Structure 1
Amino acid sequence: MLARLSLYYFAYFSFIGVFMPYFALYLDHRGLSGGEIGMVMALMQVMRLLAPNLWGWLADRSGQSLMVLRLAALISSLGFAALVAGNGLFAIAACVTVMSFFWTAQSPLAEALTLDLLRERQGGYGRVRGWRSAGFVCAVLLMGFWLEQASLEHIYHGGLLCLLAIFACAWLLPSPRLSVCSNATPPAPLREILLRPEVWKLLLACLLMTGAHGAFNVFYSMHLVDAGHSKTVIGALWTLGVLAEIAMFQWAPSLMRRYSVTGMLRFALCVAVIRFALIGWTADSLVLLLLAQLAHGITFGLTHIVAVSAISQYFGEGQASRGQAVYGSVAYGAGGILGSLVSGWVWQAAGGAWAFTACAVLAGVGVLVVVTKPGRPQWWRSSSSETASNSR
């Protein structure tokens, strides 16, 4: 079971390893401007906002989450494949929209399936998570090496190959084992859960953190190319960030036993302010870029494990898919849209350094959200270590 889950996640995150670092370069190769690239990349985040809730509701309602996931994997491959026939902004945007709508649907479904299957296997989630990161690292390095020898057009071929691998691996996934108990307490209404202070404040903090990663997710590779770095170096820097993320996932349970959730989020957001300012203004310094990438383990890895543990606790089994979908929609959907659009506009108007500075400002706003005292819920003062350990 672990092997099949790991294989799927390896393939799924290998696509991220092609799309996130290199797809902006492909769009630039296709003739799109900086603002247009930001708009197209934001479509992925728009779909993260819309699609997961629909697919999560459909999966929970129908009880056929695995079949829904497989269907989404197929259609996302077809949407991306159509890029080869698309010319101009509208056609490219349409293909990316279709691909993103069905690709983003898979993440909350797969996350709920994994947490269900590994509920009684201590440390199982951490091992699966390692293969997700390994898929990203392999794709980043192989794609970077490939592009040193070939045209940027091959970013399309690499992305399509990964999507077809996802579709193939989806058919190997084991069936969920969720069961309904007639005596079980029915889950709270979704609206009631979302109105709890501990829930909406967590989601807002994660939204701003994701927004702060906007310039990094969209323009990092282009920013480093402009600074004179080779594609191999760029791929290595992306890889370093993922390795830092893997290390953080190993250390997170220990940190959660020692520090409060509010303390960890505040720390991560403060690090994000410094990290993105460094990337923006010191891109010519490889040493500082290395330090900034090591901080990815904090700004992404630590934030993610804190959020996943809290979301799992608040939504429970009855709304497992929808809980992960809401988190993905708000944090990665709305936050991704905010970051992509802000960085795209600032990139075109003032250049890369100011685009990263704008994102550092978003992280600063996140710090203010976390430290605001009125209405601060109990969980912000307590540890979620037990939930985090179980989710791993």
Structure 2
Amino acid sequence: MSSVLPYWRLSGFYFAYFALLGGVAPFLALYFDHLGFSAARIGELIAIPMLMRCVAPNLWGWLGDVSGRRLTIVRLGALFTAIAFTGIFYRQDYLWLALIMAAHSFFWHAVLPQFEAITLSHLGPQSARYSMVRLWGSVGFIATVVGLGLLLEVFTLDIYPAVMLGIMLAIFLCSLAVPPTPTPPARHRDVPVERFVTMLRKPGVLVFFISVGLMQLSHGPYYTFLTLHLESIGYSRGLIGLLWALGVLAEIVLFLFMTRILARFSLKQLLVASLLLASLRWFLLGSMADNLVTLLLIQLLHAATFGSFHVAAIHFIQNSFSERSQGQGQALYASLSGVGGALGALYSGYSWASLGAQWTFGIAGIAALVAGVMLYRALPSR
């Protein structure tokens, strides 16, 4: 890495940010189940932050592009995420928890799209090295998944909110260490909407964003019910934590080779292949998760369904939008991910009890397959 690049400070922030996701994705549904909520209520509560992701990133993205103060938005978003979350210690009834999920996620979703733009600005012409910075987020995810999984073998889920609050405060502290970008973007108070809309009309761009929504919809059952699904089959919480970690470890290995992969394959090839492998992954997870060898393969496919898809998507957005619109492009990516994730959490919450795991994951597989076909037909070859 270049000596000018604040590699460890950027990487440290990704570590802390995705450490929080490592506590949310595998264990939030388990915590709500511990509180006694039904599958439908769990799906609704988990869908709320994803629905907030549909709105918040666009507001913060517009503000970041207009003001140029992305780092300030990141820091305030991280701080108010922690402050809003403290309400979970007051009450745990459904309506109060719904309010807490909405309030803290409004600020949480201000953070990542702006930080992605900050990272790319620091990287400059070295943007192909993005994956080498981002992989530390995956390391943070693994640290929380494994650590919290083992911790919950000893303690009850009552400790869960305190652990999450501690990680949120760590995100804020890490944001304070990140330096401003070398050349802060100028303020554009007169940014025309037409300019951004024109970029959306480029060949395949709108279909790309639709496919992002479908990809995240297909992940809805995975992020909402994987832990409960594996626990019902007979896997221990410690092993489940290790299985979550295996998926992210595969993602880290992919990140290490991503620069070479980007040089060899087009973004279209990477995006479409990721969607098709996601479809295969969900069909297998719904029907063959009781076979440990198959389950290991399913988790290794996380390298494609999240790793390669995310990196290719970040590069696609960077190539498709101008510098002055990067914040809005990243925000739209986050918003469409939120729409898809929310719909995925909602449908899986309602279908889990009535249709069962196989059908719930089967619907996810169909969604990813449809997205892959659409993107293959819509995107130019290069």
- State the TM-score, normalizing by the size of structure 1: 0.90
**What does residue 217 of structure 1 align with?**
223
Q: How much has 1:357 moved relative to structure 2? A: 1.4
**What does residue 390 of structure 1 align with?**
none
**What does residue 329 of structure 1 align with?**
335
**Aligned counterparts of 1:90 and 1:347: Cα–Cα separation in 2:** 22
Residue identity opposite 2:140 in structure 1: G
**What does residue 46 of structure 1 align with?**
51
Residue identity opposite 2:326 in structure 1: A
**What does residue 273 of structure 2 align with?**
267
Would you say the 8 A contact 1:206–1:303 is kept in 2?
Answer: no
Tell me which of 133, 145, 157 is aligned to 2:150: 145
**What does residue 244 of structure 1 align with?**
250
**What does residue 135 of structure 1 align with?**
140
**Per-residue deviation, residues 158-177 of structure 1 (Å, max 9, x unmatched):** 11110011111111111123
**Aligned counterparts of 1:228 and 1:180: Cα–Cα separation in 2:** 53
> Which residues of 2 match residues 35-184 of structure 1 at below 5 A?
35-121=40-126, 124-179=129-184
Tell me which of 284, 290, 305 is aligned to 2:290: 284
Q: How much has 1:377 moved relative to structure 2? A: 4.3
**Aligned counterparts of 2:127 and 2:325: Cα–Cα separation in 1:** 22
Residue identity opposite 1:148 in structure 2: E
Would you say the 8 A contact 1:343–1:358 is kept in 2?
Answer: no
**Aligned counterparts of 1:261 and 1:323: Cα–Cα separation in 2:** 17
**Aligned counterparts of 1:3 and 1:247: Cα–Cα separation in 2:** 19
**What does residue 230 of structure 1 align with?**
236
**What does residue 5 of structure 1 align with?**
10
SS of 1:17's equivalent in the other structure is helix
Structure 2, gaps ≥5 residues long: 1-5
Residue identity opposite 2:42 in structure 1: I
Q: How much has 1:205 moved relative to structure 2? A: 1.6
SS of 2:121's equivalent in the other structure is helix
**Aligned counterparts of 1:27 and 1:5: Cα–Cα separation in 2:** 33
**Aligned counterparts of 1:259 and 1:9: Cα–Cα separation in 2:** 26
Residue identity opposite 1:223 in structure 2: H
Structure 1, gaps ≥5 residues long: 383-392
**Is 1:33 matched with 2:38?**
yes
Q: How much has 1:5 moved relative to structure 2? A: 1.3
**Is 1:314 matched with 2:330?**
no
Count residues with an aligned counterpart.
373
Q: How much has 1:122 moved relative to structure 2? A: 6.4
SS of 1:346's equivalent in the other structure is helix
**Per-residue deviation, residues 93-122 of structure 1 (Å, max 9, x unmatched):** 100111111011100111111111121446
What value does the CA root-mean-square deviation take over the aligned residues? 1.9
SS of 2:124's equivalent in the other structure is coil
**Per-residue deviation, residues 7-28 of structure 1 (Å, max 9, x unmatched):** 1111111100101110100011
Residue identity opposite 1:291 in structure 2: L
**What does residue 208 of structure 1 align with?**
214
Would you say the 8 A contact 2:271–2:313 is kept in 1?
Answer: no
**Aligned counterparts of 1:265 and 1:64: Cα–Cα separation in 2:** 31
Task: Indicate the larger mover: 221-230 or 272-281.
Answer: 272-281
**Per-residue deviation, residues 287-343 of structure 1 (Å, max 9, x unmatched):** 11100000110111111111111100111211121111111111x111112211121
Would you say the 8 A contact 1:346–1:358 is kept in 2?
Answer: no
**Aligned counterparts of 2:146 and 2:209: Cα–Cα separation in 1:** 32
Q: How much has 1:248 moved relative to structure 2? A: 1.9
**Per-residue deviation, residues 185-230 of structure 1 (Å, max 9, x unmatched):** x887111112323211111122211111111111111100111101
Distance 1:370 1:59, change over 3 A: closer
- State the TM-score, normalizing by the size of structure 2: 0.93
